[in-house]
Structure 1
Amino acid sequence: MQIVSGHGFTLCASRVVIKFQKSYSRFQHSVPAWTRRLSKQCRIDEQQHVRITDSSARPKTGPWNLNVRSKSEPALVDLSSNTAVTPSHAFVDGVLGVSQQNGDSDSNTATSDMIFLGTGTSEGVPRVSCLTHTSMRCPVCWGAAQLGNKNRRRNTSLLVRYLAADGIRRNILIDAGKFFYHSALQWFPHYGIRNLDSVIITHSHADAVGGLDDLRDWTNNVQDSIPIYVAQRDIEVLSKSHYYLVDPSVITKGTAVSKLQFKLITEEPFYVHGLKVTPLPVWHGPGYRSLGFRVGNVCYISDVSEIPEETYPLLENCELLILDALRPDRSSATHFGLPQVSNFLFFCCSSMYSTYIRML
């Protein structure tokens, strides 16, 4: 199992990457010492291009390093490879091969990747409160205020791109928060992304749904409508916060709002353009349910304070786990911190190998 952990990290947000060997057990009794060094060694940020590579010189016991190229690009995990022994090739099999609704796809010719459009907190980084503080200078925010700085972060959002069985390249977005349009302005032209085939919502907080109104640019100028996959509890919230999108009959005729097709999902697997998506139910604060999602052997849990035991089996044989970790020193009522991530690993990983992106 591999862990991409983060949703904050350092003083004002970052991400860390850990990789774990594919396995599943609730009886792991020790965490290697490198987990205690993560606050100094590990980070993934939105403005770098990250590709998973295999080093021919790597020792059998790890670590396997992610190749980080210092570019002004968002973090991108390349899920395709021509080398059968690399972890990235396994991601193609997981994302495309076993998850297609109508049989296996040709993983030798298909390509797939995941682009982190945002890895920050709800208010993003830098924070106005830090930049206007008169007695303390926050180094993260002051650095992030500089154009192109790697600590400039937006709401957590992930774009999954894959070549479907019909030969069409599909773009599936997970969450459209308050900063989504800014991310799209910067990175969609760069990666040649024009259409949005669907949007999957993890929960109804503003940093996950605040950008739904901005989807009007696509439905007015690119495509007729966009399917939105959302849980019943979240559509009930949206019917109040975004009532005109849920029920377009209330708007003035001719108003150019987003044309969205809301599709209710449960905690059972569903298909998006032939791609199997398995919900991963978690708690995002006391009594508040959020969803992570599994696509093939990749699991994505962006907002979590507790993972219930009934979700553990859904992580079995997961090769890449993208996991919330707000701070390196402690957890909060609504988010994992790095210590809680380590505690979780006690119970879900029987064997591990370390991989990390060094702090740059």
Structure 2
Amino acid sequence: MGVPVVGCLCDVCQSTNPKNKRTRCSVIFGLPEGNLLIDTPPDLRTQLLANGIGVIHAVAFTHSHADHLFGLDDVRLFQFYLGHEVPIYCEPNVDAKIRKVYDYAFSTESQTHVGSRPALDMREIGLDRFDVLGAAVTPIRLQHGPRFEVLGFRVGNIAYCTDVNHIPEESWSKLEGLDVLVLDALRPESHATHFSVEEAVEVAQKLGAKQTYLTHISDRLEHERTNAWLPDGIELAYDGLELPLS
């Protein structure tokens, strides 16, 4: 829902600490040949402006839920900067959802004007490593609840794993030797489709990344209080967080 949550009067939603102001999850990898955006949340335009991001050169999707997809129309601007369609990397089920939700982007009718619909270059990915913008990206299979599969992504020694409550056995090896792990931790209590804080800490300690940041966090987690009791090397992420890409 983002924080503050509409209509909520809890202390986190009423907080003046900017690190308790949370838009919906996304991340950008600054790669040798441009910016790779992971997911297009409904807050995308606001996020790009707030963080001084000029151009998106390609997009990859973890999955097709609304809070990770429904800002896709905002990428229509970048076709003008790039001079070509925006490359979109996703699994077939995400491709199908995009074509359904944004059917106008794939219309065969002539446009009334250039840019009247997003220009998207759909590129299928699976679990094999793929190259984009001068870098190798490794997809990681994750479970977002018992019946829904999503992807995490690793670039160099940073891995981004949002919307997960189970890591399949075959995926652990792709998460070894990390400098930074960004991991889902929705709230203190267990959840059907997300790691709790305790579960995320257990995963982080098992993987042994040098630093772990918890993301997709709800208004149940006040930034300073939560960080005060998290183990060393684990803390809450926040909007605008920048990390060196190794």
- Which TM bucket (shorter chain)? 0.7 to 0.9
In the aligned structure 1, how far is the partner of 2:38 from the partner of 2:236? 26
How far apart, CA to CA, are the structure 2 residues paired with 1:277 and 1:128? 36
1:240 deviates by 1.1
Match of 1:234 in 2: 94
Distance 2:191 2:160 in 1: 20
Deviation at 1:224, TM superposition (A): 3.1
Q: When the two structures are superposed, what TM-score results if normalisation uses the length of structure 2?
A: 0.79
> For the Cα contact (< 8 Å) 1:194–1:222, is it kept in 2?
no
CA contact 2:3–2:21 (8 Å) conserved in 1: yes
Task: Name the SS of the counterpart of 1:140 in structure 2.
Answer: coil
Distance 1:267 1:260 in 2: 22
> In structure 2, what is the Cα distance between the partners aligned to 1:257 and 1:350?
42
Which residue does 1:301 correspond to in 2? 161
Cα distance, 1:346 vs structure 2:
5.9
Output the amino acid matched with 2:36. I
With a CA cutoff of 8 Å and minimum separation of 6, indicate the structure with the bigger relative contact order.
1
In structure 1, the partner of 2:7 is: 129
**C-alpha distance in 1 between matches for 2:116 and 2:209:** 53
Flag the 1:285–1:221 CA change in 2: closer, same or farther, 3 A: same
TM-score (norm 1): 0.55
Distance 1:358 1:313, change over 3 A: closer
Letter in 1 for 2:4: P
Q: Give the superposition deviation at 1:218.
A: 2.2
Match of 2:175 in 1: 315
Which amino acid in structure 1 is aligned with residue 28 of structure 2? L
Hey, what's the Cα distance between the residues in 2 that align with 1:350 and 1:252?
49
Q: Which amino acid aligns with 2:107?
A: P
Q: Match of 1:214?
A: 74
**Root-mean-square deviation (Å):** 2.6
Q: How many residues align?
A: 217
Residue equivalent to 1:179: 43
Out of 7, 15, 26, the position equivalent to 1:143 is: 15
CA contact (8 A) 1:220 1:258 kept: no
The aligned runs of 1:56-95 (5 Å cut-off) are none
SS at match of 1:235: helix
Segments of 5+ residues of structure 1 without an aligned counterpart are 1-122, 131-136
Does residue 159 (structure 1) correspond to residue 159 (structure 2)? The answer is no
Q: Could you say what secondary structure the match of 2:37 adopts?
A: strand
- Counterpart for residue 128 of structure 2: 268
**Structure 2 contact 25–41 (Cα < 8 Å) conserved:** yes
2: distance between equivalents of 1:321 and 1:350?
A: 6
Distance apart, 1:281 and its partner CA: 0.5
Q: Deviations over 1:242-298 (max 9, x none)?
A: 1222x2325754361111111110111100022100001001112101100011111
Q: Distance in 1 between matches of 2:25 and 2:73?
A: 17
1:203-223 deviations in Å (ceiling 9; x for gaps): 001111111111122224664
Distance change in 2, residues 1:215/1:351 (3 Å): closer
Alpha-carbon distance change, 218 to 346 in structure 1, aligned in 2, over 3 angstroms: closer
Residues 286 and 138 of structure 1, relative CA distance in 2, 3 Å threshold: same
- Give structure 2 stretches of 5+ with no counterpart: 212-230, 238-246
Structure 2 vs 1, CA of residues 219 and 350 (structure 1 numbering), >3 Å: closer, same or farther? Answer: closer
In the aligned structure 1, how far is the partner of 2:210 from the partner of 2:58? 36
| Structure 2 CA distance for partners of 1:312 and 1:356, relative to 1, 3 Å | closer
Over the matched positions of the two proteins, sequence identity in percent amounts to: 34
The code of the aligned residue for 1:200 comes to A
Provide closer, same or farther for how the CA distance between residues 263 and 222 of structure 1 changes in structure 2, counting only shifts above 3 A. closer
Who is 2:202 aligned against?
A: 343
Shift of 1:139: 1.4
Query: Is the Cα contact below 8 Å between 1:244 and 1:250 reproduced in 2?
Result: no
